[in-house]
């Protein structure tokens, strides 16, 4: 990121998520292949859905400066819906718009990474602690296939596929409690979780066996019902893969 770029004061966005101070980075041209086809709807809705997914998946890297013209060309639409989509993304806290320059993709703050991990940890541990024996038995059979899918995704370099399976894997621990409010709270953190995993992609692809072994041990401990050991292993797992200092 070049020195001397302008910064903007932090303000609130995406509900209670703080939008960090950000400095303008390099302008990035987005290829059509980087943004998957979006759902039906207005052009602005399609642009928003596609750009939002590209931000969360890491296809649009944190710190990138996005050009309205380049985005419009890549998405094969006019600048007007792209401008509306970027404005909505700014309201949600995913980008910061600089007039005449572009839109800067937000970066996760250390506080966001830490706080989201702490909440996920509390909910996953609570799910394991409150699980009935029958629910733990079902978890073992359900997640055996999930682990195979994670392994296949990492072996093929499919970070997006791994992310989807890994998020479902961790969510399953919360679901053990049979508490809808816990699950709803957990689901509100999924955007940050997806961004955090995307940021760990190089490490995951370089050493897939480590995260897969950690997930297997988490599953074994949860099935055993040892929530204290599960809490310890989950904390170590989060520190290894989502700690902003590592």
SS3 59: coil
Separation CA 62–CA 14 (nearest Å): 17
DSSP one-letter string for 17-46: EEEPPEE---EEPPPGGGS----SS-HHHH
Which residue(s) pair with 97 in the sheet?
103
149 and 38 in a common domain: no
Helices (H) and strands (E) in the chain — how many of each?
A: 11, 8
Q: Do 79 and 159 belong to one domain?
A: no
Q: 100 and 83, same structural domain?
A: yes
Residue 92 sits in the same domain as residue 177:
no
- Distance between CA atoms of 42 and 65, rounded to whole angstroms? 25
Residues 121 and 159 placed together within one structural domain of the fold: yes
Judge if 133 and 183 occupy the same domain.
Answer: yes
Residue 66 in any domain: the answer is yes
Q: Which residues of 115-150 are buried (b: 16+ CB within 10 A; e: fewer)?
A: ebbeebbebbbbbbbebeeebbeebeeebeebbebb
Give pLDDT tens digits for 44-85. Answer: 999 999 999 999 888 898 899 999 999 999 999 999 999 999
* pLDDT for position 243: 57
Answer whether residue 1 is part of any domain: no
Give residue 242's pLDDT. Answer: 67
For 4, residues 6+ apart whose C-beta sits below 8 A from its C-beta are none
61 contacts: CB under 8 Å, gap ≥ 6: 28, 105
Task: Summarize the confidence of residues 136-162 as an average pLDDT.
Answer: 93
Segment 97-114 mean pLDDT: 90
Total domains, the chain? 2
Looking at the structure, tell me whether residues 160 and 217 fall in a common domain: yes
Does 101 lie in the same domain as 122? Answer: no
- Confidence band (pLDDT; 50, 70, 90) for 10? very low
Distance (Å, rounded) from C-alpha 162 to C-alpha 151? Answer: 8
Of 3-7, 143-147, 240-244, which one has max mean pLDDT?
Answer: 143-147
Structural domain for 195, as ranges: 110-242
Q: What is the mean pLDDT of residues 173-199?
A: 93
Across the beta sheet with 102-105, what order do the strands follow?
Answer: 27-28, 65-66, 102-105, 95-98
**CATH code, domain with 94:** 1.10.10.10
């Amino acid at each position: 990121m070049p020195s001397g770029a302008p910064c903007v004061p932090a303000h609130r966005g995406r509900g209670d998520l703080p939008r960090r101070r950000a400095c303008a980075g390099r302008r990035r041209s987005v290829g059509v292949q980087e943004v998957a086809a979006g759902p039906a709807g207005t052009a602005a809705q399609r642009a928003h859905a596609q750009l939002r997914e590209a931000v969360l998946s890491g296809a649009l890297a944190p710190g990138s400066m996005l050009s309205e013209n380049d985005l419009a060309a890549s998405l094969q639409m006019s600048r007007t819906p792209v401008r509306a989509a970027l404005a909505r993304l700014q309201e949600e806290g995913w980008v910061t718009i600089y007039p005449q320059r572009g839109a800067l993709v937000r970066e996760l703050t250390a506080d966001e990474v830490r706080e989201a991990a702490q909440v996920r940890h509390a909910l996953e541990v609570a799910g394991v602690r409150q699980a009935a024996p029958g629910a733990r038995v079902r978890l073992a059979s359900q997640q055996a296939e999930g682990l195979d899918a994670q392994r296949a995704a990492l072996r093929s370099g499919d970070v997006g596929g791994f992310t989807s399976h890994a998020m479902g894997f961790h969510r399953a621990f919360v679901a053990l409690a049979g508490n809808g409010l816990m699950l709803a709270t957990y689901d509100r953190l999924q955007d940050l979780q997806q961004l955090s995993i995307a940021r760990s992609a190089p490490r995951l692809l370089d050493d897939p066996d480590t995260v897969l072994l950690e997930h297997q041990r988490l599953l074994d401990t949860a099935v055993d019902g040892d929530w204290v050991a599960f809490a310890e292993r989950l904390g170590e797992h989060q520190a290894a893969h989502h700690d902003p200092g590592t």
